[in-house]
Amino acid sequence: MNEHPSIARFRAELAERGGTGRIVVLPDSVHTAALAAEALGCAVGAIANSLLFAATTRAGTTEPVLVLTSGAHRVDTDKVAAAIDVIGLKRAKPEFVREHTGQVIGGVSPIAHPAPLRTYIDLALRAYDEIWAAAGHPAAVFSTTYAELLAMTGARETTVN
């Protein structure tokens, strides 16, 4: 089987970080958390969306911030910005996402980026024994646990909504 290069890079990084989950390639039509949850037979809240934001720091610079949020939540950018001590958070543009993650919107994984990203994880994901997140490609996901995802990403816990 010819695996997409971004999935292959993700697979290698997952193994390097000690990830134990499986990678599943879903149909192209599964492009939302709700559709992914339906295809995987899990709750929408068990889908961990990897959302990249452009954060305006107190120094006036812009830096990438990755928020791993439950598919059941929308990120309250004002609340999260205050919690992580930045002036503001804006959804990143596609070029910014590609530059900082090496991946495309819709396929951003929690790991396998060109450089470490400041990462936060939605506390609500703790409620699920199994979590599914993107595996570096819009059609690929992988299974993990909250503890494993926390360990692999070095994320800080927060409430996002």
pLDDT of res. 29: 64
pLDDT of res. 156: 97
Q: Which stretches of the chain score pLDDT less than 70? A: 1, 29
pLDDT of res. 41: 94
pLDDT of res. 115: 96
Distance of CA 107 to the CA centre of its chain: 8
Q: Which CATH architecture has domain 5-158?
A: Alpha-Beta Complex (3.90)
pLDDT of res. 7: 92
Query: Which sequence spans correspond to the domains of the chain?
Result: 5-158
Phi, psi of 135 (to 5 degrees): -115, 40
pLDDT of res. 160: 95
* 156, HSE (Cβ side, Cα atoms, 13 Å): 10
